Amino acid sequence: MEQIKDGWFSEKNDLWPGQFFSLEVESILHHEKSKYQDILVLETKNHGTTLILDGIIQCTQSDEFAYQEMISFLPLCAHHDPKSVLIVGGGDGGVAREVSKHPLVKEIIQVEIDEKVIEVSKKYLPFMAKGFSSPKLKLNICDGFEYMRQHKSQFDVIITDSSDPIGPAVNLFTETYFKLLKDALKPDGIICSQGGTLWSQLEHVQDTISNCKKHFDVVDYAINSVPTYPTGQIGYVIASLNPNANLRLPKFLIQDKQAEELDLRFYNSDVHSAAFVLPNFAKKVLSW
């Protein structure tokens, strides 16, 4: 709680030295240390209810939709028929909320290791936790690695909604993890993982992509704006087992009318394709 001082939460962290972002706090709604992490929920002045894990902002009510929609709809719409989806992590329920909106999705399995995050989200972050109420969803409290070892060739799409690629979630960006993802996918399956940020973690993004390329035929990287994340942007590693896949061209189209019907505030088919366009400094290093 030393991050809260004079009514402000400051996200100081060695992951982004020399800078930090602060949010004005109206009240502390919840604080506990679970078996896995420090869980803090704040009511903030201008960004609504905010979930913070191990001192890092995971989502604020004001902009969480940008991340949740993109990490879900990028792989779902890049797949021709995403019937069966696995979500690894995502304990706040936001990704389940988005995935369950997609008309072609029939079955969602979610594996989250920390049931305390789910409990806390259900209580304080109902705008995300409503994802857990989807009749399409089956939620398992267990280790994603273990689950995938026992469920081979089963999913059309696997989404890994984790914290940053450096720090506690580092195992979710290794070659071993991408091998597990590959084996849990059906032959033409697609994965999407939170993939760090170009501006402050470009070498880590490069490493993650290299690890992914060892097991996937087509690997790509997309970005979008999320104001309360460090550098105001987040990236996604998205990959397909189909050697002819073009992940930049959505197969399932969502234009204005359908976006409205699905309550999508960020994602549409044009946003999908534009998200893969990288600035020169990143394109050069990631060598597309």
User: Contact between 23 and a copy of itself (CB under 8 A)?
Assistant: yes
CA atoms of 113 and 89, how far apart (whole Å): 7
Residue-wise burial string across 154-188, b where 16 or more C-beta atoms lie within 10 A, e elsewhere = bbbbbbbbbbbbeeebeebbeeebbebbbebbbee
Q: Cβ 57 to a copy of itself, closest distance in Å?
A: 11
By C-beta, is 34 or 225 nearer to a copy of itself? 225
Q: What are phi and psi of 286, to 5 degrees?
A: -85, -5
The structure tokens 């009749």 sit at 135
Residue by residue, DSSP assigns 152-201 as -S-EEEEEEE-S-TTTTTGGGGSHHHHHHHHHHEEEEEEEEEE---HHHH
Active site (annotated) includes residue 161:
yes
Which is catalytic among the residues 63, 92, 156, 161?
161
By C-beta, is 31 or 248 nearer to a copy of itself? 248
DSSP 266: S
By C-beta, is 189 or 235 nearer to a copy of itself? 235
Site string for a copy of itself, 198-237 (x = CB under 8 A): -xx----------------------xxxxxxxxxxx----
User: Contact between 47 and a copy of itself (CB under 8 A)?
Assistant: yes
User: Contact between 126 and a copy of itself (CB under 8 A)?
Assistant: no
User: Contact between 20 and a copy of itself (CB under 8 A)?
Assistant: yes
CA atoms of 155 and 183, how far apart (whole Å): 9
Q: Cβ 120 to a copy of itself, closest distance in Å?
A: 22
Interface stretch with a copy of itself, choices 22-30, 103-111, 201-209, 238-246 (CB under 8 A): 22-30
User: Contact between 256 and a copy of itself (CB under 8 A)?
Assistant: yes
How many residues are present in the chain? 288
Residue-wise burial string across 128-147, b where 16 or more C-beta atoms lie within 10 A, e elsewhere = bbbbbebebbebeeeebeeb
In the set 106, 123, 214, 265, which binds a copy of itself (CB under 8 A)?
A: 265
Q: Which residues bind a copy of itself (CB under 8 A)?
A: 10, 17-24, 44-47, 63, 66, 199-200, 223-233, 256, 259-260, 264-268, 270-271, 273-274, 277-281, 283-284
